[in-house]
Chain A
């Protein structure tokens, strides 16, 4: 019925959606969307590194993104620049350096569009394994740090005072962010990964009244976006990333009707 590559893309996308759902909620709650962007931009550097050293792409993206996160934390401590300026500095310079390095690698044929916006043809069986095993690992870790992370998201001092060690949870969460970018880059492309994190979670916020329900709606939204997006991508031969994100946007717009109703009820 469907070609193998499409089934692979579907399985990969579903795996990604399960992980981006809960992580995306934290990205919204902790206001980390620009931080996610920065890590994603730096992923290009990771990809080029993978090609030059003949290294696994996901692993090298993960390493470079974690490195950028570390550099960010150091810069925050050592300079007086505001956080968003530092994020912009790192995002654009790492993207630029990545593109310059690609320019030097004339011996490799690069599918830049695929890197930036995702390519369902590119998903291999190995990638599926990375997504599902890596994804399961991310989710398990998130479950493990949920309490301190969520408590410190609500109020840092409460979490610290009552002995939950929020700093450790935050550090682990940063690593998880780098990991999700690493495993989803082929699917969604590095320019749109943050969209996959934020848009389903934003839709979920419109529908939910508790943190747990927001996570569940966010996963459902992500799954629907992937499925609708990939079928569109197959049908109209569009890039997979933009198709998925457009589907997510449509779901978000639909969710606005629900929020309008509840506001009306309140008044």
Chain B
């Protein structure tokens, strides 16, 4: 079990009220070093709000948030950048922290967009921009990564590669990740802890626990539950290059 020193951010019964309407209420969770915590839930269930509470973007919240690190990388879900700013990918990479050329190149290579380094940010496609956002967040080698749907708009093969990259980063940097994802496959394979939100915490636990939870089934339907459960089995074989099955 982890000790308290491993906790990067902790929400205690946190919530946010805006114009007399609760966006999210009573959320308790913690992100520890080397662990991936995933928030799932339908649209408007308060996933992004919870992430922003954890980041300390909202000042007037209910409950409390304890943040133990300032080395944070953030990929927001929506980002409105004023495209009239003369801003190249390279300028964007050093937005919140000065980095060496090698560090920038390494991060951009990892997400597969090194060739866009000198391009104007406004000229990128949605998927390209998403890869740049992810590169920027990981380049500063943060203790805590908050990724709000980090692969939206990325092509299918890229999506898988990027999720693998996220998992790798979590292992290599031993950083904690708070992930918001709609992709239940990913949630299942890479996550240590799942929090299912629907304006409040509907259920939480290991992916398997959540998949079995009745409230979760009610929220997402039986089928979603099966998607998660399918990962229960262990992969006992791998495919060789020639396509033959090889037992582990």
Contact = CB atoms under 8 A, between A and B. Distances in A.
A155 B79 contact: yes
Contacts of A151: 95-96
Given A158-B74, A162-B72, A211 B57 contact: no
A76 interface: no
Contacts of B57: 157, 160-161
B87 A163 contact: no
A194 B127 CA distance: 39
A41 interface: no
B88 A154 contact: no
Nearest to A207: B86
A208 B87 CA distance: 10
The prevalent SS among residues of A at the interface is: helix
Given A158-B74, A161-B57, A162-B72, A153 B96 contact: no
B86 A205 contact: yes
Contacts of B80: 155
B163 interface: no
Contacts of A210: 86-88, 90-91
B57 to A, nearest CB: 5
Nearest to A30: B82
A155 B90 CA distance: 16
Contact of A163 (B70, B84, B95): B70
A160 B55 CA distance: 8
Contact of A158 (B95, B98, B120): B95
Interface string A160-191: 11111000000000000000000000000000
A150 interface: yes
Interface in A200-242: 205, 208-214
B1 interface: no
A158 B76 contact: yes
A213 B120 CA distance: 14
| A interface residue count range (under 10 / 10 to 19 / 20 to 34 / 35 or more) | 20 to 34
B73 interface: yes
Contacts of A153: 82, 85
A209 B118 CA distance: 9
A165 to B, nearest CB: 10
Interface in B39-69: 52, 55-57
A161 B52 CA distance: 8
Contacts of A158: 74, 76, 79, 95-96
B9 to A, nearest CB: 11
Nearest to A163: B70
A205 B120 CA distance: 13
Highest count of chain A CB atoms <10 Å: which of B56, B57, B73: B57
Given A155-B76, A158-B79, A164 B96 contact: yes
A211 B85 contact: yes
Contact of A211 (B72, B87, B140): B87
B220 to A, nearest CB: 28
A199 B72 CA distance: 37
A150 B92 CA distance: 10
A147 B52 CA distance: 21
B146 interface: yes
Contacts of A162: 72-74, 96-97, 140
Given A29-B82, A155-B79, A155-B81, A163 B88 contact: no
Interface of B: 52, 55-57, 70, 72-74, 76, 79-82, 84-88, 90-92, 95-98, 120, 140, 146
Given A158-B74, A211-B91, 5 more contacts: A154-B95, A157-B76, A161-B55, A164-B96, A210-B91
27 contacts: A29-B82, A147-B98, A154-B81, A154-B85, A155-B76, A155-B80, A155-B81, A157-B55, A157-B57, A158-B96, A160-B57, A161-B56, A161-B57, A161-B74, A161-B146, A162-B74, A162-B96, A163-B70, A205-B84, A205-B86, A209-B86, A209-B88, A210-B88, A210-B90, A210-B91, A211-B86, A211-B87
Interface of A: 28-29, 147, 150-151, 153-155, 157-164, 205, 208-214
